[in-house]
């Protein structure tokens, strides 16, 4: 197994009852890269991310973060996780949600205030921070969830469909920020079914039915498949055969 990988999966398998949702999978994700998991619903992307985050344990195989085996309570503090479903308190304001989660992550005083302001600016919610989250649009809730995942300066950022419901202009600004985070050494893992987002990743794992069907940089994948777009490459590698 490679020792320079921030995230390392070795022969990982996950099943619920008799249903196998992740088949024998090995993968290494390096420090400071934006790594994409591309595939339709049911491909196994969310389950894979949940195992990396420690929410789910593999049925078989080994999973390491920073060369330490998961699950590990000590490693959880180094992970920022944004789920598909927004775990927000609807009867609190945006800033109150951020304050609550910042406190859970041990932020206090001036540092806490500065960090909350920083992430509010990042997701363009400064003007809406005093509004009840129950009154937020779907896109605003996604942006707040992203802000929460960044509060504690994680070394690994796991984002499950982070830009669903977000307009194109803000989506581009979020990707610009992800590239900034990458430049500081943060490892970003993004699940997506949006082809132009997949093209923004440094490396990409194309998934279908719990398996990685292709792995490489977007350009490498297109070149090997002899296609001009990621969508065409995905179809050529077998992405159209997903059973879900």
Q: Report which secondary-structure segment, H or E, holds 19.
A: strand 19-30
Residue 13 in domain: no
Residue 41 in domain: no
Residue 199 in domain: no
What pLDDT shows up at residue 169? 82
Residue 116 in domain: yes
CA distances from 64 to 50, 157, 158, 173 (A): 13, 15, 15, 31
What pLDDT shows up at residue 50? 94
- pTM score: 0.88
With CA atoms as reference, report the closest residue to 112 among 126, 98, 123, 125.
Answer: 98
Residue 20 in domain: no
Residue 132 in domain: yes
With CA atoms as reference, report the closest residue to 26 among 8, 43, 4.
Answer: 8
User: Rounded to an integer, what distance in angstroms lies between the CA atom of residue 225 and that of residue 95?
Assistant: 47
CB 59 within 8 A of CB 87: no
**pLDDT, tens digit, for every residue of 188-201?**
999 998 888 899 99
User: Rounded to an integer, what distance in angstroms lies between the CA atom of residue 172 and that of residue 163?
Assistant: 9
pLDDT (tens digit, 0 to 9) for every residue of the chain, 244 residues total?
A: 445 689 999 999 999 999 999 999 999 999 999 999 999 888 999 999 999 999 999 999 999 999 999 888 888 889 999 988 888 999 999 999 999 999 998 899 999 999 999 999 988 899 999 999 999 988 889 889 989 999 998 999 999 988 877 788 878 878 888 898 899 899 999 999 888 889 999 999 999 999 999 999 999 999 999 999 999 999 999 866 544 3
Residue 136 in domain: yes
- HSE, side-chain direction, 13 A CA sphere, residue 112: 15
Domain that holds residue 129: 87-153
What pLDDT shows up at residue 195? 87
Please state the domain count of the chain: 1
Residue 147 in domain: yes
């Amino acid at each position: 197994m490679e020792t320079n990988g921030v995230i390392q999966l070795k022969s990982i398998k996950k099943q619920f009852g008799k249903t196998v949702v992740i088949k024998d999978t090995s993968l290494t994700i390096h420090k400071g890269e934006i790594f994409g998991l591309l595939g339709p619903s049911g491909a196994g992307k969310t389950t894979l991310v949940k195992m990396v985050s420690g929410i789910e344990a593999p049925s078989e195989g080994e999973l390491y973060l920073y060369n330490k085996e998961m699950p590990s309570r000590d490693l959880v503090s180094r992970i920022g996780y944004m789920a598909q479903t927004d775990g927000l308190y609807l009867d609190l304001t945006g800033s109150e949600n951020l304050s609550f989660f910042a406190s859970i992550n041990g932020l206090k005083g001036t540092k806490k205030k500065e960090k909350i302001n920083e992430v509010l600016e990042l997701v363009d919610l400064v003007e809406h921070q005093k509004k009840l989250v129950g009154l937020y649009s779907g896109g605003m809730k996604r942006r707040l969830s992203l802000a929460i995942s960044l509060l504690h300066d994680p070394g690994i950022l796991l984002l499950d469909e982070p830009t669903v419901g977000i307009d194109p202009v803000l989506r581009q600004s979020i990707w610009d920020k992800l590239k900034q985070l990458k430049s500081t050494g943060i490892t970003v893992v993004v699940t997506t079914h949006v082809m132009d987002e997949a093209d923004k990743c440094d490396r990409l794992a194309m998934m279908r039915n719990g398996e990685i069907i292709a792995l490489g940089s977007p350009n490498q994948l297109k070149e090997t498949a002899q296609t001009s777009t990621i969508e065409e490459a995905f179809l050529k590698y077998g992405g159209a055969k997903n059973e879900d």
